[in-house]
Structure 1
Amino acid sequence: MERADIDKIVYDKSVIDFVTIAVEVCVFLEKNEPLPREEWVDRLLKMLPLLYVKALLLPGTVSTEEEVPATFVREEDYSRVANMVSEVMGEEDVYLDVFVEDMKYSDTPVSTFISENIADIYQDIRNFVSVYQFGLTGQMNDALYQCSENFRLYWGQKLVNVLRPLHTLKCLSLENENDEADLSEDELWG
């Protein structure tokens, strides 16, 4: 692949849009300021679908380097994000997942963790945006290729899987707010 082709791909509008939302998700997950679960879920539910759509729109590319792109997320970074998500989610961190390979061979439900799935997504997109920060087009191209492949094979499914329990929590929160509002109206007019 020629340099002009690589430049065209790595600076494509759809790639820049993906980089933008990926950075936003990473910054959100790296913040150490605790948010109430409802607010945290609400914000994540607005970012994750956009991340998914922008990943779907990435242009195709091929790897040009012999080496795999550098990884920047260390084990402690991954653990910090997973632990933060686990703390926010509390008892709601675990959910039943039917779209895991183990489910095909199991007679019992398979549970997984929102915190683990979010940390897996974070790891891939953080490695990707970290390579992009250096502005080296060959490496950017390969990071784009790697992130796109990982999205297709790995973290894209994790993203859509984790939306289900987050959606359920959001809807339960809205139901509770409506119930509280109904009680307040009954007291006011009662």
Structure 2
Amino acid sequence: MEKHIHSPNCNHDHEHDENHFDNEALDDNTVSIKDLVYSRQVIEMITVANDFCLFLEKCETLNKSQILEYLHRIAPLLYLKGSLLPDVQLSDPEATERFVNEIQWEAIFNSMKKILENSDTFYYTDSNLDTIEASIAEHLADIYQDLKDFVWLYQKDTLNPKQNAVFECKALFQTNWGIKLTEAMRAMHLVLFNQQILTSNSNNENWEND
């Protein structure tokens, strides 16, 4: 019968192999996180979010129709890109920062409210079936704050802030800016197309009178 000789170093070699595999798993996990953070879904979200924020920052130079035309096109795209963000874990809580302050928020809010005028107020029904009075300008300023923080945090040089930026953006999409975006979309849709219907009816009346 063949005898199996037990080497005194066998356990040590086995432990070494386990450590080796653990390190490989850790490396694979790190690569996986990096792939997610630099994925096409995240880059596209960054691109659309940055475009949205830059637009709101210069909105004072535009009229109501121009703003609503742009927003009613980019809002569904923002929602789509937010829903496609990958699932990542919060890395280092200390690597998460908020950048938009109250003054910057108020600047966006005041600009939008001034432009929208009497079209700013809208109503929606909450989960308790209560009717809530809301403001398009306030919703847009809140969305701007979440997305601008996302863009700025993602621009940090190291992986941890970028990872946290993706985590925060997806979490806030589910609990804040995604909800407010859908509410604002409906309100802007009604303002935009009611305005177009009124303009069309007015033009038809003028044509008939002529």
**When the two structures are superposed, what TM-score results if normalisation uses the length of structure 1?**
0.89
Aligned match of 1:156: 178
User: What code does the residue aligned with 2:149 have?
Assistant: N
> Where does the alignment leave 5 or more consecutive residues of structure 1 unmatched?
none
**Pick from 10, 14, 31: which aligns with 1:4?**
31
**Pick from 182, 193, 196: which aligns with 1:171?**
193
1:42 equivalent to 2:69? Answer: yes
Matches for 1:23-34 after TM superposition, within 5 Å: 23-31=50-58, 33-34=60-61
| Coordinate RMSD, CA, aligned | 1.7
Deviation (angstroms), 1:25: 0.4
1:6/1:138 contact within 8 Å kept: no
User: What code does the residue aligned with 2:124 have?
Assistant: D
1:144 equivalent to 2:134? Answer: no
> Where does the alignment leave 5 or more consecutive residues of structure 2 unmatched?
1-25
CA deviations on 1:122-143 (whole Å, 9 max, x unpaired) are: 0000000001222322110111
CA deviations on 1:46-81 (whole Å, 9 max, x unpaired) are: 111100000001111111113261111011001101
Query: Is the deviation greater in 78-87 or in 131-140?
Result: 131-140
2:59/2:112 contact within 8 Å kept: no
Q: 1:41 to 1:10 in 2, by over 3 A?
A: same
Matches for 1:1-190 after TM superposition, within 5 Å: 2-31=29-58, 33-67=60-94, 69-99=96-126, 104=128, 106=130, 109-188=131-210
- Deviation >6 Å, runs of 4+: none
1:114/1:162 contact within 8 Å kept: yes
User: What code does the residue aligned with 1:118 have?
Assistant: L
Distance in 2 of aligned mates of 1:29 and 1:66: 29
Distance in 1 of aligned mates of 2:167 and 2:93: 13
Deviation (angstroms), 1:182: 1.4
Distance in 2 of aligned mates of 1:66 and 1:81: 28
Distance in 2 of aligned mates of 1:51 and 1:27: 14
Distance in 2 of aligned mates of 1:97 and 1:105: 9
| Count of matched residue positions in the alignment of Structure 1 and Structure 2 | 183
User: What code does the residue aligned with 1:76 have?
Assistant: I
Q: Higher Cα Rg: structure 1 or 2? A: 2
- Partner-residue secondary structure (3-state), 1:110: strand
User: What code does the residue aligned with 1:127 have?
Assistant: D
